[in-house]
A = this chain, B = another copy of it.
Amino acid sequence: MIPESQTLTKEQLLSRIQEVGRERYHHQHPFHLMMHEGRLNRVQLQAWALNRYYYQSRIPMKDAIILSRSEDREFRAAWRKRIVDHDGERGHEGGIERWIRLAEATGLNRERVQSATEVLPAVRYAVDAYLDLVKNRTLLEAVASSLTELFSRDLIALRMDALRKHYPWLSGGLDYFTARLDQAPEDARFAFDYVAEHAHTRAEQEAAIAALTSKCDILWAQLDGLHFAYVQPGWPPPGAFVPEEE
């Protein structure tokens, strides 16, 4: 263990962050394990796509909050890329549109997904907690919370293989993940460099790690909600997405 009084080197900080990823990132969640083993059915994938749409739809709002908190226009210009990646720009569709097409590939109607009326309350609260985090903690912690992107490339690569293998009918809807394969690592590098540079004390480094841990909790809790409602024992709350009889 590194003594509490000692500021971490950049390598030590990265190592602590990767430890959080190994232990707490949602690649370990039973819902994802089942997905990757081909043990989810179509309606469970529908529930996943529909609920996760709510998360996707809030990402540009989250990034705009972070942008609004920085007095540094170079930081803002760099962070703006994330909003463009998700919202799209003239001639280029963004991640939200790609996610909608994934949801459509599961057999859901676009309007139903975008209305977000059938999202699980547990998912909604977790996502809203993310917006609260970036609004109310320090800018350093807000940036650090995005560091889950350091772990997402491996998960996405694994997932794309698994989805293609086990759910070939979904293969046409994977553009979202293809784009994220490049976007996420680039964003993660920028965010990590920012955190390494701006966390000057051990206390600030620990706050950044704690923010990343909170973000892992936020991702995990969304899958808890899905798992309880649609897998085991399968009890969606009133008003939430209900699988139609097949």
Contacts and interface: CB of A to CB of B under 8 A. Distances in A.
Interface stretch (A3-11, A70-78, A202-210, A216-224): A70-78
A88 B77 contact: yes
A132 to B, nearest CB: 12
Interface string A177-203: 000000000000000000000000000
A44 interface: no
A94 interface: yes
A87 interface: yes
The complex is assembled from copies of this chain, and their number is: 2
A67 B69 contact: no
A200 to B, nearest CB: 20
A94 B73 contact: yes
A33 interface: no
A64 B61 contact: no
Contacts of A21: none
A84 B88 contact: no
Query: Which label, helix, strand, loop or mixed, suits the secondary structure of the A interface?
Result: helix
A37 to B, nearest CB: 34
Interface in A80-118: 80, 83-84, 86-89, 94, 96
- Which 4 A-B residue pairings sit nearest by Cβ, starting from the closest? A64-B68, A64-B67, A65-B68, A73-B87
22 contacts: A57-B71, A57-B73, A61-B68, A61-B76, A64-B64, A64-B67, A64-B68, A65-B65, A67-B67, A67-B83, A68-B68, A73-B86, A73-B87, A73-B88, A76-B83, A76-B87, A77-B87, A77-B88, A77-B89, A80-B80, A80-B84, A80-B87
Interface of A: 57, 60-62, 64-65, 67-71, 73, 76-77, 80, 83-84, 86-89, 94, 96
